[in-house]
Structure 1
Amino acid sequence: MERLQALAAVCDPATKADLSRWELPPGARCLEVGAGAGTVSRWLAQRYPGGEVTATDTDTRFLAALRHPAVRVLRHDVRTEDFPCGAFDLIVARSVLCHLRERDAVLARMVSWLAPGGRIYIEDPSFFPAASSTDPVVRRTGRAITATLATSLGSDVETWARSFPAPLRGLGLGGIGMRVHCSTLTSDNAAGAAWRLSMTDLMPVMDRWGILPEADTAAALAHIARPGFVDVAHAMIGMWGVLPSDRRTRRRHLVDQTR
């Protein structure tokens, strides 16, 4: 939970700024896929008090405290479980698709859940700033995290988000756009906490797979925690698009493609 809260502290301001660009219709139906600690779902419920927010995750333990009359918490696997066509006016997924091997097919299915005029917002990390750092410890650690997630989960935190907004093209959407946000990485800010907690979680896997020995990970943790340390953390890249109101036929076609 502490790691999710640190990541939310890093990512929420930019995510909310992006989502604030749009005014949704009264009674807006919102979906957050992979809601994590629920901070974005709670914010959506407060922003659209007359609407309904569905917060999903494969593990809903950290959503237990998300009590709001407009929020429905649902255990749901976006890879295998569906929603009705046209069910949502806004779909949000942050740090989800990058970890799924079938990310392109899942994205197409998610678009099929949009109502006419509905918007989709996808945000994922890319470690290119850290992997090219002038600090050799940060550079090696960033590359090790990228390799560990790819090996253990099939994640792509290197090239997937760097390809944005191309994955949305060809899905019948208009108004496609993107945004890149890089946080400062220090010993005492939220990004530093998120890095330390993530590295600690990944340490046994890195060692077991021979990607980064545990002693080297421990040394990297001490390096990042030292007073005065500063660098650039990984990038968070967002992309979005809107399903035109006259594209019902296209949406049905997308559903057929994913079955």
Structure 2
Amino acid sequence: MQERPLPESEYSDYGEEVFAFECPSRLHRLKALAAVCDPATRADLSRWGLRPRARCLEIGAGAGTVALWLAERSSGGEVTATDTDIRFMAGLQHPALRVLRHDVRTEDFPAGTFDLIVARSVLCHVGERDAVLARMVSWLRPGGRIYVEDPSFFPAASSADPVVRRLGGAVVATLARAIGSDVEAWARSFPAPLLGRGLVRVGVRVHCSTLTSGNAAGAAWRHSVADLVPVMDRLGILPEADAVAALAHLERPEFVDVAHAMIGMWGVLPADPGTERGHLVDQTG
């Protein structure tokens, strides 16, 4: 089938046709992704801790696992968990947790509101990601930290497995053409998007998970690919029969590979810019 790119005007939103909120497997996909990504995200956030009465924001909170974890570690503060669809956070309860329907592309918060802002697997799906990132930085209080984490599929591109290479390329192309995502170059450029924004202690971390037929990373990838099969076929990127055969390949007991990396970047808005001039790169890893 011949690939047919979509003009920008035909882009749909994340959660509509692509990774639809109505899809019965959506919650299973979110839980699998949380099982894979939460340990590395929590390890990063744990290194810095939270000041007493800290105000935190998680954008695109999904099932709310990171937001709830932050709330449980809050000392007299508040954690605001947002998403364009909040149905998967309906059962979350904690006195420090506030759940809010919010679209980061079009809705603001007051400047200087938050001590910590977290956005995982969000900006890669936002076409105006640089402008949104600049607005997010403006929501930080002096001394506050922003933490952004997104996927890049560069490991799949170098896989020794031709099925993984083809499937990874199909995922990258489908997301780009259907909703304007960049799951290839955007996160691979970290931490450059935070440099030059007045932040200090800027850093980056890369985490790659092994995929097998029986672990959470493999399940997350299979759920994600399965959700994309109709769109891949409609756009002429990967015929449905080929995608179904590739999914069967991923379910083989002997299957093992690395499909994508999760790359995190962070930076701090200095309380006094003059006191930390020149301290741009976080050397702590």
Cα distance, 1:104 vs structure 2: 0.2
The answer to whether the 8 A contact 2:80-2:98 is kept is yes
The answer to whether the 8 A contact 1:116-1:247 is kept is no
Cα distance, 1:130 vs structure 2: 1.0
Listed one character per residue, the Cα deviations across residues 69-114 of structure 1 (whole Å, up to 9, x for unaligned) are 1100000000110001110000000000000000000000000000
Alpha-carbon distance between aligned partners in 2 of 1:130 and 1:231, rounded to the nearest angstrom: 8
Return 158-167 or 47-56, whichever deviates more: 47-56
Corresponding residue to 2:169 among 143, 160, 174: 143
After superposing on structure 2, the runs of 4+ consecutive aligned residues of structure 1 that deviate more than 3 Å are: none
Corresponding residue to 2:269 among 243, 246, 258: 243
Matches within 5 A, 1:92-131: 92-131=118-157
- 1:231 corresponds in structure 2 to 257
- 2:200 corresponds in structure 1 to 174
Answer yes or no: is 1:157 the counterpart of 2:183. yes
Amino acid at match of 1:106: V
The answer to whether the 8 A contact 1:191-1:233 is kept is no
The answer to whether the 8 A contact 1:34-1:96 is kept is yes
| Matched residues, number | 248
Alpha-carbon distance between aligned partners in 2 of 1:11 and 1:192, rounded to the nearest angstrom: 12
Corresponding residue to 1:34 among 60, 70, 83: 60
The answer to whether the 8 A contact 1:124-1:236 is kept is yes
- 2:226 corresponds in structure 1 to 200
TM-score computed with the length of structure 2 as normaliser:
0.86
Cα distance, 1:247 vs structure 2: 4.7
TM-score computed with the length of structure 1 as normaliser:
0.94
Which structure 2 segments of 5+ residues have no match?
A: 1-26, 275-285
- 2:82 corresponds in structure 1 to 56
Amino acid at match of 1:83: F
Listed one character per residue, the Cα deviations across residues 163-209 of structure 1 (whole Å, up to 9, x for unaligned) are 00000011100000000000000000011101111111100000000
DSSP-derived class of the 2:38 partner: helix
Amino acid at match of 2:89: L
Return 45-54 or 213-222, whichever deviates more: 45-54
Return 54-63 or 40-49, whichever deviates more: 40-49
More helix by share: 1
Answer yes or no: is 1:84 the counterpart of 2:110. yes
- 1:184 corresponds in structure 2 to 210
Return 16-25 or 121-130, whichever deviates more: 16-25
Which structure 1 segments of 5+ residues have no match?
A: 249-259
